[in-house]
Amino acid sequence: MDKKLKEAIKVAKSLHKKKLIYMSDSIDLQIEPNYQVLVAIVENLNLTIEKKFYDSIKEEEDYEEEDMLYELTLLNFSEKDLISEDDIEFMGTIIKEYVDIEDPILIEDTYVFNIKLDKLQNLYEKASKQIEEGKFKTGASIE
């Protein structure tokens, strides 16, 4: 068996044991994320930026939307966290998919970004379906 394939299967089995993904027993090696965990991540995002900081990012000469995404991503980690580029990429992908970063709301001196509710509703439905199918029990957490 190819060494990379063997390693991928080992990692998939490890994630399955931690209940982060569902892996079917078929030979096709079908994998899907635990949508309860994904919902918990989205619901617990820090989606606020102080107005001064937001304005300083937007006023940069070479500003791109990716700059705001990157800063918002970093705000979701504690200074004590040991984070890697993979962690940043993972969280950035979630924010890009589930958060409207183009049109935040200003409340006092803080910008608040909104979750895309249609996307969140879709996650709820997928999580419910996984529970009904017996893939995961209720009450997944992001510990």
Q: Taking all residues of the chain, what is their mean pLDDT, rounded to a whole number? A: 86
Asked if residue 34 has pLDDT above 70, the reply is yes
DSSP 6: H
- Per the structure block, which two tokens stand in for 79? 């200074």
Handedness of CA 60, 66, 69, 71 (dihedral sign): negative
**The pTM is what?**
0.75
How many other CB atoms are there within 10 angstroms of residue 93's CB atom? 12
Locus of tokens 């890009």: 96
pLDDT (average), residues 44-73: 93
Q: Between 87 and 19, whose confidence is greater?
A: 87
Asked if residue 14 has pLDDT above 70, the reply is yes
In the structure, how many helices (H) and strands (E) does the chain have? 6, 5
Kindly report, residue by residue over 76-133, the tens digit of the pLDDT: 998 887 788 889 999 999 999 999 999 999 999 999 999 999 999 999 999 999 999 8
> What are the domain boundaries of the chain?
1-33, 35-132
Give dist(CA 141, CA 39) in Å, integer. Answer: 9
pLDDT at 9 (0 to 100): 65
R_g (Cα) of the chain, nearest Å:
18
Asked if residue 6 has pLDDT above 90, the reply is no
pLDDT (average), residues 48-75: 93
